[in-house]
């Protein structure tokens, strides 16, 4: 009997408020690592085990968030419930199809996702892939980072592949030097790294995507994909590299979450054993679909469209 795929995505899922008009808002749930897992849920076989590993509050919003995941085939493993806390909140405002963000996350329960080492270990045990991001690490208290990295390293030693999106957001870090230290440690324990060039240029001063590939390779990851917005993505796998052109979107609607969707499409394809070139081609297709949808979460029906490989392929 073929083994079911098992994936854990670690991080923060927030309440998303998106403007629908003057003083009119609608709510949803979103966050970089949860968005990526959402995309993977649509593209992987239905019997795959996908868990979002975080921490929840004990309020009504947290309970509804947990129900949202469970109703859509995404578990929450052994994520702890922290009394008195609640989900973070952010609001998006569109200017054309580009967006701006405002955040309220100081009381976010997800900051405590590593408070219980045993629970985190159980949540990460037996996975084919664990995915986390620079935002995951940035929102956590410093004293919990060591726990997270210890458990990721232990999972890797047991055979789990670790995928990391540096996703540098300067406002989340106390200073640039500390961000570089934490992200550097995350790179060293990862097998797959998925940086965005604009972020890498902002943090490290990289002159071009090749410089990003060279620098990240020195930390040890064997598989790197550098996303460059609407320009071609650059990749390197076991020392060999190339580029993959993005799809042109003539009628963009909302770029929110497009990069997360791209990475979800890429990782799903790689988990299904597809080559890096095919995986990137289909990741670009997923990103194009995302850009033509409002909000951070692309409807699963659209992600299952004919231009995306079927789950059985």
- pLDDT in single tens digits along all 313 residues of the chain: 568 999 999 999 999 887 777 777 888 999 999 999 999 999 999 999 999 999 999 999 999 999 999 999 999 999 999 999 999 998 877 666 666 778 898 889 999 999 999 999 999 999 999 999 999 999 999 999 999 999 999 999 999 999 999 999 999 999 999 999 999 999 999 999 999 999 999 999 999 999 999 999 999 999 999 999 889 999 999 989 999 998 888 788 877 889 999 999 999 999 999 999 999 999 999 999 998 888 788 888 788 754 455 444 4
Residue at 205 is within a domain: yes
pTM of the model: 0.93
Quote the pLDDT of residue 97: 60
Domain of 147, CATH number, reads 3.40.1190.20
Q: What is the domain extent for residue 40? A: 6-12+33-48+114-301
Q: Which of 206, 254, 260, 282 is catalytic?
A: 260
- 116 a catalytic residue: no
Residue 81 covered by a domain: no
Query: Which of 124, 132, 155, 127 is CA-nearest to residue 4?
Result: 127
Letter string b/e over residues 150-160, b meaning 16 or more CB atoms within 10 A of that residue's CB: ebbeebbeeeb
Q: DSSP letters of 6-72?
A: EEEEES--EEEEEEEETTEEEEEEE-HHHHHHHHHHHHS-TT-EEEEE--EESSHHHHHHHHHHHHT
Is 163 inside any structural domain?
yes
Residue bearing tokens 């726990």: 147
For residue 312, the model assigns a pLDDT of 42
What pLDDT does 95 receive?
67
pLDDT at 196: 97
**Whole-number pLDDT of residue 91:** 86
* Within-domain flag for 294: yes
Instruction: For residue 74, tell me if it sits in a domain.
Output: no
Task: Judge whether 63 lies within some domain.
Answer: no
Domains held by the chain: number: 1
């Amino acid at each position: 009997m073929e083994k079911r795929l098992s994936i854990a995505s670690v991080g923060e899922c927030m309440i998303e408020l998106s403007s629908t008009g003057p003083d009119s808002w609608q709510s949803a749930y979103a966050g970089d690592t949860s968005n990526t897992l959402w995309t993977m849920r649509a593209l992987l076989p239905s019997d795959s085990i996908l868990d979002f590993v975080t921490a929840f509050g004990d309020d009504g919003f947290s309970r509804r968030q947990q129900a949202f995941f469970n109703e859509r085939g995404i578990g929450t493993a052994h994520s702890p419930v922290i009394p008195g806390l609640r989900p973070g909140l952010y609001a998006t405002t569109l200017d054309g199809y580009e967006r701006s963000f405002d955040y309220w996350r100081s009381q976010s329960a997800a900051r405590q996702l590593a408070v219980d080492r045993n629970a985190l270990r159980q949540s990460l045990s037996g996975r084919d892939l664990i995915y986390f991001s620079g935002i995951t690490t940035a929102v956590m208290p410093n004293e919990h980072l060591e726990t997270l990295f210890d458990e990721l390293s232990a999972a890797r030693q047991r055979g789990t592949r670790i995928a990391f999106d540096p996703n540098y957001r300067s406002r989340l870090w106390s200073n640039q030097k500390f961000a570089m230290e934490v992200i550097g440690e995350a790179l060293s324990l990862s097998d797959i790294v998925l940086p965005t060039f604009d972020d890498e240029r902002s943090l490290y001063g990289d002159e071009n995507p090749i410089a990003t590939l060279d620098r990240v390779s020195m930390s040890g990851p064997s598989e790197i994909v550098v996303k460059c917005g609407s320009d071609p993505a650059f990749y390197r796998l076991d020392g060999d590299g190339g580029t993959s052109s993005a799809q042109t979107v003539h009628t963009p609607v909302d770029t929110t979450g497009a990069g997360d969707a791209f990475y979800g499409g890429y990782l799903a394809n790689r988990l299904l054993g597809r080559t890096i070139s095919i995986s990137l081609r289909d990741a670009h297709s997923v990103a194009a679909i995302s850009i033509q949808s409002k909000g951070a979460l692309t409807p699963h029906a659209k992600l299952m469209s004919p231009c995306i490989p079927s789950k059985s392929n």
